[in-house]
Amino acid sequence: HSLSLGLLPTIVKQMPTQFTYAVEAIDVDQAVDMLREGQSDFIFSYHDENLQQAPFDNIRLFESRLFPVCANNGRGEPRYTLEQPHFPLLNYSQNSYMGRLINRTLTRHAELSFSTFFVSSMSELLKQVAMDGCGIAWLPEYAIRQEITDGRLIVLDADELVIPIQAYAYRMNTRMSQVAETFWRDLRGLQAAL
């Protein structure tokens, strides 16, 4: 969801108007099946090792980072800290890309003491719950720039606990329709602007 909100409007705005867009927010495994079966031309998704090899082709669209953030306490300070015992964690679903990344990070940092308070696959929902003061969430930089600038969210760690992420467009590496091939070529041309 966060990828479509953060990326697709930019792509649609910069691409020729000859294309028709049909966007579905579905599970990655289901999206891959649809791609293999020819029911979909492209997948926009985060890095997936299985999609980085044949029979797929990819374009890296952008890199970003997940930052641990929380709301301010009304005095410009973080409402929670990563050092406090049993901080409330606002986490992604464990089978989601970001959920797996965050859970690996939490496992590597056994010194962090947390209790999972809220779970969702949607970054925008986690962001809202974090801004409401309910806990600490790892959120994508592109989705929280304004909230950090405004002071509604505070970054709790800018080093060790920051998680890099990459977004890709994927397709089958077979010949597609002329319109799909044109879209792929134009998307590759946009790559540097994203």
Stretch 83-101: mean pLDDT: 93
Taking residue 10's Cβ as centre, other Cβ atoms within 10 Å add up to: 14
For residues 91 and 163, is the Cβ–Cβ distance under 8 A?
no
Segment among 46-50, 59-63, 101-105, 189-193 with least mean pLDDT? 189-193
Q: What is the pLDDT of residue 194?
A: 62
Which amino acid does the sequence have at 20? Answer: T
Q: DSSP readout, 153-186?
A: EEES-SSTT-EEEEEEEEEESS---HHHHHHHHH
The pLDDT assigned to 193 comes to 65
Is the pLDDT confidence value at 103 over 90?
yes
Strands 136-140 and 87-92: parallel
Please write the tens of the pLDDT for every residue from 138-170: 999 999 999 999 999 999 988 999 999 999 999
**Residue 29 Rama label (left phi>0; alpha psi -120 to 50; beta):** alpha
Q: CA-CA-CA-CA torsion for 77, 78, 79, 83, nearest 10 degrees?
A: -130
What's the CATH superfamily of 65-164?
Answer: Periplasmic binding protein-like II (3.40.190.10)
What pLDDT score was predicted for residue 130? 98
Entry pTM = 0.84
First to last CA, the chain: 17
Report the C-alpha gap between 49 and 46 in whole angstroms: 10
Structure tokens, 58: 């990819």
Q: Which tokens is 158 given?
A: 């800018």
Same fold, 2-63+166-193 and 65-164: yes
Domain ranges of the chain: 2-63+166-193, 65-164
CATH code reported for the domain at 2-63+166-193: 3.40.190.10
State both tokens at 180.
Answer: 């799909």
